[in-house]
């Protein structure tokens, strides 16, 4: 055993500001304008209850444990239950931040009972109220790893909604604290939309796979920080040497990938779970006797350049790859952008990269741009007659001395590590361009808050988790040699579209575009509605120009046909529709998520300008019913568009929400009309026409599951859902669902639009005690679920009408009675007859595998 390395004592400033964390785009800061903070944490517990019944060691052990954690260079501790007063006192004294878990009964179907949900909400409120504004508390986690088959059973969207209720309840009691939920790869889609950051527990022992998965997690996080709240290696299986090596590359990969915080699992081997000590696994960096297994360096990490200040074991090759000190030329093109240019240049002064220059290209502004630039002595000012954005960018390319050209806009504010991450992104010659997220800062007025939430903002288009098809020009770095090889920007793109054109041409020349999550800039959205619609008209005209140059990349209606998915329109957490999540066969997939995501909807045809001439023609023809029906479809399309957008980055009032809805109605009209005018003026037409199926069939199936009947079964011998499913296959004449996208375990798929099947889940109640639930479902599209009963009733009504025409009139009273009551009774009889047969089959399967029927009250299984 080796001794623990000792670092200097924590600074008083850190101890006093331990909990003053705020989110700032992809990172944490100490206050809105404070320094950037990367959390370096370790998990602590859960332990066997102490003499006071707390799930922590005795007070003396707590003090020595936390002191040892601080000595090892950690500044954050994750605990799984609310802290005792001793932990709060010691953490504050040592300058340790606490990530506090709020434990509740998440191993059972908690959505079945309203009273249980209220109890959980009260637990969250109590803990949040008790610890509100405590300087040692950095964040709360309102849950941890709800089991994957249990989430599938309850419904992912319902579980997500409940977690959001927990966060809202906690935030009401502690408005200045950060909140999230710790998910894991088996439910990576389960991300509360109101969480302050993405908390993910990940155990990937291969370095390259882990690095790739971090890229995916950044897309799941969207514009929020990513925190790895659990990562570790079992020394009982792999040994202490493998743990030391894994610990080194884990922290290095997380820093290189702009992960905002890490938590190593765990501090000690001492681990108490499910009412007993866990001894078969040993994840601790110290053993149960607090003897260290590895030397944990206390050196701090440099945030600039994604590099470590001090070399760690196994990092030498990565150091050589990321050490990129080429001169980078930052080029800011402006046209009457004096209102935001000064803040842009001030942020460029704060960049930490050691080797860069700044050029301001003034495209013939009528404002006095020179007087704004003059105080910044290190900035080169170049003036040209007004010729458009592309000419200005080419002028910057020719004047630049650097080998990498980093383009940005005059209304952007750069993160201080922007160029460091950009430089590290060019570690492979195949990457000819790099860029990162552009995130709206705090709005300057209500209109800007609405515009930040409105559609049409600059967005990335991703081919996969790392490679992009398009990077917006406000955050676009290109190798100068690659840009010169394609002869720069095309100069007929005067206001927009130049970045799309140059990205497509770089890819056609064999280059690859890289997305760097840490290379973020703050990008102000338009501050007036007039400016916003002017921007959308510019985008529409630019699309016509792009269609002229790239007709093969546009579809029937003139919209660009991207190969990849649009980053920024929505994150996978925004849409948990039935059938969109890959659960794996029987719901047991280790990595479950939404791998194909799209906002397409059949109602898209009734947005834009197409509906306007249709309404006018039908109204002039006097077909008022049809005209009103088309208007209703237009309103439905607007609602579909509005609710497909991600949650607004800033809170909106109800008036602002109405304004946003109006923008969702008008924005497609404005943009499409500008595009059509440009197409007619330029003679631009798309050469790629979609098929009938692509036009009229939505990308997502919109399937829903309708439960028909359910049963619960109890076992003291460890029998669960796997045994029940095996026994039910021959009895119910169904087969296991194999494609992994279905919610059902067993299914009898008669057609693509109708599936009958069984869904199961097993709750674990300690030891071998199991409670298994089974529910028979019909899975069908929403439109079919609504129309099928109507069709059946119409068929029965037609049959009764036929009978009426053939029977004598003396039996009219009987016919009338059958007409009024017959078909509902027939439907009910058929329904209950089918349910009875299904229930008998499930009970027979349970009896075959040794499960006993039971009822479930208040979470306690009771045999019937």
Residue 452 covered by a domain: no
346 with 419, same domain? yes
- Which has the higher per-residue pLDDT, 793 or 862? 793
In a domain, 5, yes or no: no
Which pLDDT band, with edges at 50, 70 and 90, does 204 fall under? very high
372 and 253 both lie in a single domain: no
Q: Is the dihedral of CA 566, 570, 571, 572 positive or negative?
A: negative
pLDDT in tens, 793-825: 666 666 666 666 655 555 555 556 555 555 566
Residue 168 lies in a domain: yes
Does the pLDDT of residue 705 top 70, yes or no?
yes
Residue 2 located in a structural domain: no
Nearest to residue 605, comparing CAs of 625, 577, 633?
633
Verdict on whether the full-model pTM lies above 0.85: yes
Domain containing 72 equals: 12-321
- Single out the residue of 150, 109, 105 nearest to residue 124, CA to CA: 105
* pLDDT tens digit sequence for 756-791: 788 899 998 877 889 999 888 877 776 666 666 666
* Element at 479 (helix H, strand E): strand 475-479
CATH number, domain with residue 422: 3.90.550.10
Which residue among 700, 719, 745 closes a domain? 700
pLDDT beyond 70 at 273: yes
Whether 500 and 641 map to the same domain: the answer is no
Structural domains counted in the chain: 4
> What mean pLDDT is predicted for residues 320-345?
84
**Which whole number is the average pLDDT over 111-124?**
93
Q: Are residues 257 and 400 in the same domain?
A: no
In a domain, 448, yes or no: no
User: Are 285 and 187 part of one and the same domain?
Assistant: yes
Task: Indicate whether 611 pLDDT > 70.
Answer: yes
Residues 666 and 723 in one domain: no
Other Cβ atoms closer than 10 A to 857: 9
Going by pLDDT thresholds of 50, 70 and 90, the confidence category of residue 141 is very high
State residue 798's pLDDT score.
Answer: 65
Kindly report which listed range (6-10, 451-455, 650-654, 724-728) carries the lowest average pLDDT score: 6-10
Asked whether residue 434 carries a pLDDT value surpassing 90, the answer given is yes
Last residue of a domain, which of 659, 677, 700? 700
Radius of gyration over every alpha carbon of the chain, rounded to an integer in angstroms = 31
Q: Which of 852, 592, 831 is nearest to 711 (CA)?
A: 852
Look at the chain and count its residues. 864
Q: What is the pLDDT of residue 795?
A: 64
Pair 26, 85 in one domain: yes
CATH of the domain at 292: 3.20.20.80
650: Cα separation from own chain's centroid = 17
* Contact (CB, 8 A) for 82 and 104: no
Task: Classify residue 463: in a domain, yes or no.
Answer: no
- Does one domain contain both 718 and 783? yes
Residue entry with tokens 């016509």: 544
What six digits make up the tokens of 509? 């020349």
Q: Give the residue with greater pLDDT, 645 vs 573.
A: 645
CB 488 within 8 A of CB 394: yes
535 and 521 in a common domain: no
Q: Establish if 170 belongs to a structural domain.
A: yes
Q: Mean pLDDT over all residues of the chain?
A: 83
Last residue of a domain, one of 297, 321, 345: 321
pLDDT given for residue 581 in this prediction: 80
Tens-place pLDDT, residues 296-309: 655 444 444 333 33
Residues 6+ apart with CB under 8 A from 572: 189, 191, 219, 220, 593, 594, 597
Q: Is residue 710 part of a domain?
A: yes
What pLDDT score was predicted for residue 10? 35
| DSSP per-residue string spanning 65-115 | HHHHHHHTT--EEEESSPPPHHHHHHHHHHT-EEEEE----TTS-GGG-HH
The answer to whether residues 569 and 457 touch, using CB atoms and an 8 Å cutoff, is no
Q: Are residues 725 and 788 in the same domain?
A: yes
Tell me, yes or no, whether 403 and 286 share the same domain.
no
SS3 category, 405: strand
- Residue for token pair 């947005």: 607
What is the pLDDT averaged over residues 390-414? 96
Same domain, 724 and 693: no
Q: Are 435 and 476 in contact (CB under 8 A)?
A: yes
């Amino acid at each position: 055993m080796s001794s623990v390395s000792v670092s200097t004592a924590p600074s008083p400033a850190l101890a006093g500001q331990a909990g003053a964390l705020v989110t700032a785009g992809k990172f944490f800061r100490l206050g809105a304008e404070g320094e950037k903070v990367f959390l370096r944490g370790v998990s602590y517990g859960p332990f066997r209850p102490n003499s006071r019944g707390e799930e922590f060691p005795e007070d003396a052990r707590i003090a020595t444990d936390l002191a040892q954690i601080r000595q090892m260079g950690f500044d954050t501790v994750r605990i799984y239950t609310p802290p005792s007063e001793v932990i709060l006192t010691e953490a504050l004294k040592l300058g340790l931040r606490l990530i506090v878990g709020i434990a509740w009964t998440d191993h059972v179907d908690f959505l079945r009972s309203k009273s249980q949900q209220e109890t959980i909400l009260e637990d969250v409120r109590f803990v949040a109220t008790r610890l509100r504004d405590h300087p040692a508390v950095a964040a709360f986690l309102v849950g941890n790893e709800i089991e994957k088959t249990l989430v599938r059973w309850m419904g992912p969207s319902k579980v997500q909604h409940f977690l959001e209720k927990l966060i809202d309840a906690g935030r009401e009691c502690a408005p200045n604290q950060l909140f999230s939920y710790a998910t894991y790869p088996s439910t990576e889609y389960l991300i509360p939309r109101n969480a302050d950051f993405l908390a993910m527990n990940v155990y990937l022992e291969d370095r390259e796979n882990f690095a790739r998965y971090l890229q995916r997690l950044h897309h799941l996080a969207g514009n929020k920080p990513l925190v790895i709240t659990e990562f570790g290696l079992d020394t009982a299986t792999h040994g202490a040497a493998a743990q030391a090596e894994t610990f080194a590359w884990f922290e290095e990969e997380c820093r290189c990938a702009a992960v905002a915080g890490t938590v190593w699992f765990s501090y000690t081997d001492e681990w108490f779970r499910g009412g007993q000590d866990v001894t078969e696994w040993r994840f601790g960096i110290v053993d149960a006797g607090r003897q260290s297994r590895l030397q944990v360096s206390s050196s701090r990490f440099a945030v600039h350049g994604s590099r470590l200040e001090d070399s760690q074991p196994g990092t030498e090759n990565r150091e050589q790859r990321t050490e990129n000190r080429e001169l980078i030329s930052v080029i800011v093109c402006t046209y009457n952008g004096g209102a935001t240019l000064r803040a842009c240049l001030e942020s460029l002064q704060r960049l930490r990269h050691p080797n860069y220059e700044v050029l301001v290209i003034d495209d013939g502004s009528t404002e006095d741009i020179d007087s704004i630039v003059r105080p910044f002595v290190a900035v080169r000012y170049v003036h040209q007659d007004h010729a458009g954005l592309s000419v200005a960018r080419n002028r910057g390319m020719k004047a630049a001395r650097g080998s990498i050209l980093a383009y940005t806009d005059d209304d952007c504010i750069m993160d201080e590590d922007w160029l460091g991450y950009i430089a590290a992104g060019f570690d492979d010659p195949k990457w000819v361009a790099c860029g990162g997220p552009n995130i709206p800062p705090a709005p300057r007025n209500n209109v800007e808050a609405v515009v930040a939430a409105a559609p049409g903002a600059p967005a990335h288009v991703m081919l996969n988790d790392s490679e992009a098809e398009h990077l917006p020009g406000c955050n676009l770095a290109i190798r100068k040699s690659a840009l010169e090889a394609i002869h720069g920007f095309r100069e007929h793109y005067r206001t927009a579209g130049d970045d799309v054109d140059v990205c497509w041409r770089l890819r056609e020349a064999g280059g690859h575009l890289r997305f760097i999550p840490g290379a973020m800039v703050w990008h102000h959205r338009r501050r007036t509605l007039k400016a916003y619609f002017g921007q959308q008209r510019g985008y529409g005209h630019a699309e016509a120009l792009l269609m002229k140059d790239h007709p093969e990349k546009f579809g029937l209606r003139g919209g660009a046909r991207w190969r990849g998915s649009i980053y920024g329109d929505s994150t996978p957490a925004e849409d948990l529709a039935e059938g969109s999540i890959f659960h794996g066969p029987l719901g047991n997939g280790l990595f479950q998520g939404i791998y194909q995501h799209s906002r397409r909807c059949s109602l898209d045809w009734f947005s834009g300008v197409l509906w306007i001439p249709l309404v006018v023609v039908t109204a002039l023809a006097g077909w008022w019913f049809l005209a009103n029906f088309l208007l209703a479809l237009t309103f439905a399309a607007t609602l579909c568009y509005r609710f497909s957008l991600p949650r607004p980055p800033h809170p909106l009032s109800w008036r602002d929400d109405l304004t946003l809805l109006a923008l969702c109605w008008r924005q497609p009209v404005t943009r499409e009309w500008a595009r059509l005018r440009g197409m007619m003026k330029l003679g631009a037409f798309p050469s790629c026409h979609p098929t009938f199926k692509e036009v009229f069939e939505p990308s997502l199936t919109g399937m829903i599951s309708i439960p028909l009947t359910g049963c619960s079964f109890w076992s003291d011998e460890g029998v669960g859902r796997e045994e029940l499913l095996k026994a039910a296959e021959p009895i119910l004449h169904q087969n296991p669902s194999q494609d992994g996208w279905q919610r059902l375990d067993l299914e009898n798929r008669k057609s693509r639009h109708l599936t009958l099947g069984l869904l199961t889940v097993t709750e674990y109640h300690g030891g071998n005690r199991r409670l298994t639930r089974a529910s028979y479902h019909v899975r069908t599209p929403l439109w079919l679920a609504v129309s099928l009963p109507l069709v059946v009733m119409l068929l029965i009504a037609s049959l009764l009408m036929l009978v009426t025409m053939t029977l004598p009139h003396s039996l009219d009273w009987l016919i009338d009675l059958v007409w009024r009551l017959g078909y509902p009774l027939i439907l009910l009889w058929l329904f209950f007859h089918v349910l009875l047969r299904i229930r008998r089959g499930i009970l027979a399967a349970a009896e075959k595998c040794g499960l006993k029927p039971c009822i479930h009250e208040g979470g306690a299984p009771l045999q019937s």
